[in-house]
């Protein structure tokens, strides 16, 4: 019995569609960034260590400010510092910078609105404010308001430096412009009786200069140690010739070009000549005999 032949057509249908590895830009912008070198984690650890000492600042600082505001019931809280890029310039503020006596680089900045400073001055001089009232200030702060502002900032710097174990540094407060660079920011909130006033505090992140210097020195030592073992490619230029592009296009396989070899041939690493020498014969092979070495 003959079995008729049958042609079977097999069609493979994918069970699932393979998605493209290309991610749209709008979706890619929302993806979390991986801290490959651990710099952000190290920075956050330093920031957490700095914030851990804020609990030692609140009580003595509040006591100092209570005396400043005529023994009023007051409490000052500094919010935990956070890493910030630049201060925003949306609202006018009065800026002071703080630097230790004899130091040229400021360590901290304070920013307060003229209206807040005006309200603090009223309370300082024994005046009263209506709860919820808004004060519109169009003028520049007066000398007495600036002196109050400087005392307020100096008390904060003294308390912070004491908590950090720095001792007396003779803090100087001078007018300033908004700072630049990577900074830490916090908000000082003063509860003075039934009134609540706030201002901004900006801090320059500490730099471990000794650690950085040691890392730089170690890196230089490792580089100096590894440099002699770096492989290089030496290129010997035996001859050069000039021709036009048309002549070059007319060349055919088998044609011979005459070489006018240099008497002293340079040897280059990249584009930098480091040796000069001549071609010689040794044991039936061509060799390169060095007769000059670059001094650098």
What is the three-state SS of 189-239?
Answer: EEEECCEEEEEEEEECCCCCHHHHHHHHHHHHHHHHHHHHHCCCCEEECCC
Assess if residue 7 is contained within a domain: no
What average pLDDT does range 272-284 have in this prediction? 86
Write down the mean pLDDT value for the chain. 81
**What value, to the nearest 5°, has the Cα angle with vertex 69 and ends 150 and 170?**
30
Number of domains in the chain: 2
150 & 103 share domain: yes
pLDDT digits (tens, 9 = 90+) for 20-44: 567 788 887 888 777 777 778 888 8
Residue 138: the pLDDT is 59
- The percent of residues above 70 in pLDDT, for the chain, comes to 85
Look at residue 217 in the predicted model and tell me its pLDDT: 67
Per residue in 187-244, pLDDT tens? Answer: 999 888 888 889 999 999 876 554 555 556 677 788 888 888 888 888 888 877 888 9
Same domain, 144 and 190: yes
Q: Is residue 241 part of a domain?
A: yes
* Statement: residue 258 has pLDDT above 50: yes
**Cβ proximity of 106 and 176 under 8 Å:** yes
- Give yes or no: residues 59 and 197 share one domain: yes
Same-domain pairing of 64 and 197: yes
Provide the CATH number for the domain around residue 276: 2.30.330.10
Residues 187 and 51 in one domain: yes
State pTM to two decimals. Answer: 0.60
Residues 121 and 173 in one domain: yes
Same domain for 77 and 169?
Answer: yes
C-alpha radius of gyration, the chain, whole number: 37
In a domain, 208, yes or no: no
Q: Does residue 182 have a pLDDT over 80?
A: yes
pLDDT at 126 over 60: yes
- The CA distance from 177 to 161, in Å, is 23
Max Cα-Cα span within the chain: 121
Query: Which of 185, 203, 221 is a domain's end point?
Result: 203
Tell me, what's the pLDDT at 148? 92
Instruction: Tell whether 70 and 158 lie within a shared domain.
Output: yes
- Is residue 22 in a domain? no
Place of tokens 């008729």: 4
In a domain, 218, yes or no: no
**How do residues 45-103 score in pLDDT, each as one tens digit?**
888 888 888 888 888 888 888 888 877 788 888 899 998 867 776 778 899 999 988 88
Same domain (yes/no): 123, 57 = yes
């Amino acid at each position: 019995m003959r079995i008729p032949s049958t042609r079977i057509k097999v069609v493979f249908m994918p069970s699932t569609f393979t998605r493209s590895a290309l991610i749209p830009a709008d979706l890619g912008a929302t993806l979390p960034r991986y801290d490959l070198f651990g710099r952000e984690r190290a920075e956050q650890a330093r920031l957490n260590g700095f914030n851990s000492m804020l609990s030692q600042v609140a009580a003595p600082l509040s006591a100092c400010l209570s005396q400043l505001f005529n023994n009023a019931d007051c409490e000052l809280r500094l919010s935990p510092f956070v890493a910030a890029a630049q201060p925003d310039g949306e609202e006018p503020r009065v800026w002071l910078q703080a630097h230790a006596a004899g130091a040229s680089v400021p360590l901290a900045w304070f920013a307060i609105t003229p209206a807040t400073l005006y309200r603090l001055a009223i309370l300082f001089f024994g005046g009263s404010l209506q709860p919820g009232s808004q004060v519109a200030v169009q003028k520049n702060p007066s000398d007495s308001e600036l002196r109050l502002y400087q005392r307020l900032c100096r008390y904060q710097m003294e308390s912070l430096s004491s908590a950090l174990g720095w001792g007396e540094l003779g803090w100087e407060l001078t007018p300033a412009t908004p700072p630049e660079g990577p900074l830490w920011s916090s908000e000082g909130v003063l509860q003075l009786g039934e009134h609540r006033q706030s201002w901004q505090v900006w801090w320059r992140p500490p730099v471990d200069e000794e650690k950085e210097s040691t890392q730089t020195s170690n890196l230089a030592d490792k580089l100096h140690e590894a440099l002699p073992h770096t492989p290089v490619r030496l290129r010997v230029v035996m001859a050069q010739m000039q021709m036009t592009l048309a002549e070059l296009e007319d060349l055919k396989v088998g044609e011979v070009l005459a070489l006018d070899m240099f008497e002293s041939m340079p040897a280059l690493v990249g584009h930098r000549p480091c040796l000069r020498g001549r071609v010689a014969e040794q044991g039936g092979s061509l060799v390169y005999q060095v007769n000059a070495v670059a001094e650098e």
